[in-house]
Structure 1
Amino acid sequence: MTPTDAANPARRLTARVTGEVQAVGFRYRTLQQANRLGLTGVVSNHSDGSVLVVAEGPEPALEELLHWLNSPTAPGTVDAVQDSWSDATGKYGSFSTE
């Protein structure tokens, strides 16, 4: 996957997940999902109790990740997912947790 792949140009999904999503394996499971989908980016806890996900890759894979973030199979209790979309920057070489 590269940003120049004309069939699936790379996009960036930024998602702020709120609810009971810290100390429940949320970051680790998000990492697993992102790797399974071939995405790059980062997932991190924030001091307000939310989790921030920044992922880059083909839009269909990002949509699948977003669907998973909103699903009952995501760890903990997700109250809301605020998402925004932009062009990929190519900043990330892999997907990691912070």
Structure 2
Amino acid sequence: MTRRVHVIVRGTVQGVGYRYTMRMIAREAGVAGWVRNRRDGTVEAEVEGTPPRVDEVLAWMAEGPPGGRVDAADVTDVRATGRSGFDVLPDA
């Protein structure tokens, strides 16, 4: 079974290494997807994989990297795409 989620993370999440640390965490967990900064100061991501692996990444996303502060992580289940790899995308 595969789960894909769309996540918007709010707080001090830009300029603290959030995206690049998340890419490392996601690749170690073996999930697919992407992460990017948004102009409103939030971070947006999609994560796809087995439910336990997605939950592992979501747990990290709720904490974030040292130096950051996560106030909220809004998670929405979306349709799985079957893509592979995890990328940092250009800002949206």
Q: TM-score, normalised by structure 1?
A: 0.84
Structure 1 residue 36, shift from structure 2 partner: 0.7
In the alignment, which residue of structure 2 is the partner of 1:95? 86
More helix by share: 2
Matches within 5 A, 1:12-91: 12-71=4-63, 74-75=64-65, 76-90=68-82
Range with bigger deviation, 37-46 or 79-88:
79-88
Give 5+ residue unaligned stretches, structure 1: 1-8
Matched residues, percent identical? Answer: 38
Looking at CA atoms only, which structure, 1 or 2, has the larger radius of gyration? 1
Structure 1 CA distance, aligned partners of 2:50 and 2:84? 15
Structure 1 residue 86, shift from structure 2 partner: 2.8
Residue 23 of structure 1 aligns with an amino acid whose one-letter code is G
How many residues matched? 87
Structure 1 residue 87, shift from structure 2 partner: 3.4
CA deviations 1:18-75 (Å, max 9, x no partner) are 111011100001001100110010000000000001011001100111111112xx22
Alignment RMSD: 1.0
Structure 1 stretches of 4+ with a deviation exceeding 6 A read none
Q: Would you say the 8 A contact 1:10–1:87 is kept in 2? A: no
Structure 1 residue 10, shift from structure 2 partner: 1.1
Structure 2 CA distance, aligned partners of 1:89 and 1:56? 8
Give 5+ residue unaligned stretches, structure 2: none
